[in-house]
Amino acid sequence: MKSNKKVAVLSSGGDAPGMNAAIRAVVRKGIYHNLIVYGVFHGFEGLIRGDIQEMKVGSVADIVHRGGTILKTARSDEMFTIEGQQKAANQLLERGIEALIVIGGDGSYRGAQTLAELGIKVVGIPGTIDNDIVGTDQTIGFDTAVNTVVDAVSKLRDTATSHERAFIVEVMGRNCGDIALRSGLAIGAESILIPEIPFNLEEIGEKLLRGYRRGKHHSIIIVSEGSGDIKEISTKLKEYSGFDSRVTILGHIQRGGAPSASDSVLGATMGGKAVEVLLEGKSEVMISYINNDIIDRPLDLAFGPRPPFNPELYNLANELAI
């Protein structure tokens, strides 16, 4: 891609801490290399209605440390229709914008893929707290969300200890148990329930009883949202162990807050790499973090099956919570 070419960036799907660092990197690295960079506001919804503005160096000042996304985000039903996709592509083509960088999850990548078929160069940057995108070891926002869970659970633990209770804490992640697994391991949870591994509530109840007999009078159980109804889980555990528990659903606080240093760096490096691959003339690629390296890979990798779940961390967490 040559100087003065026009590129655009948007964020889509659930917001994630570190998205702003990625947006800043796209805008500033693009301008540094003489590209004209546009921000698309409100995700694909905004693209369809032409909510597009040129970004200057100052447009991304003072955002690197902020959670959320200055471009706003949305989940767009219209982008699933052929008319919506054509309108979105036309908004870019009419302005002479050749390429679009999409920061979001695999649903957002699918939107990008349809635009590629309509003549737009596209690059995907994995931004979601869920860490559920095939083809990258980590997504922007995941590390911060895990730290948020750890912080929240350390507060709950004070109450769990004082009242000698069990706390069952639901965390986000859709069908991916990574937030639960990482945070559960970090806080030394008694049990971690994730969608990837079947669990037996009777055994978990017995584990609680074993701990109680050993003098442990509080416990924390982390449940990934894709593992089932947390209220039912609590009722069953009471049945099997006799313990009263309190249920806490952490919800959207996991999506907010300042990004961790790790997510800011991931956002900056991925944003920078996205501009680099466009300058090299590539399209239909995603930016990936693999073995400590930032690389580009084919976008459709993200649409393939998830690799088999590696149970190493899960097994370790169980071994440590005997």
The site for ligand F6P (CB under 6 A) is made up of: 14, 105, 128-130, 172-174, 225, 255
Cα–Cα dist 140/108, whole Å: 14
CB atoms within 10 A of CB 320: 10
User: Least CB distance from residue 20 to ligand F6P, whole Å?
Assistant: 17
3-state SS class at 242: coil
Provide the minimum distance between the beta carbon of 67 and ligand F6P in the complex, in angstroms, as a whole number: 13
Which of 50, 257 has the CB closer to ligand F6P?
A: 257
Q: How far is the CB of 4 from ligand F6P (least distance, A)?
A: 36
CB atoms within 10 A of CB 199: 16
What is d(CA 187, CA 267) in angstroms, rounded to the nearest whole number? 26
C-alpha dist (Å) from residue 165 to 52, 221, 238: 52, 11, 11
- Residue 22 or 129 with smaller CB distance to ligand F6P: 129
* Contact of 87 with 48, CB cutoff 8 Å: yes
Cβ closest to ligand F6P, residue 190 vs residue 225: 225
Catalytic residue among 130, 143, 178, 296: 130
CB of 255 to ligand F6P, least distance (A): 5
Of 219 and 248, which has the nearer Cβ to ligand F6P? 248
Burial group, residue 70, by CB count within 10 angstroms (0-12, 13-18, 19+): middle
Beta bridge partners of 247: 168
Task: Report in angstroms how near the CB of residue 92 gets to ligand F6P at its nearest.
Answer: 25
User: For residue 224, what are the β-bridge partners?
Assistant: 171
d(CA 288, CA 161): 41
Nearer to ligand F6P (CB atom), residue 263 or residue 296: 263
Catalytic (active site) residue 132? no
Catalytic residues, by residue number, are 130
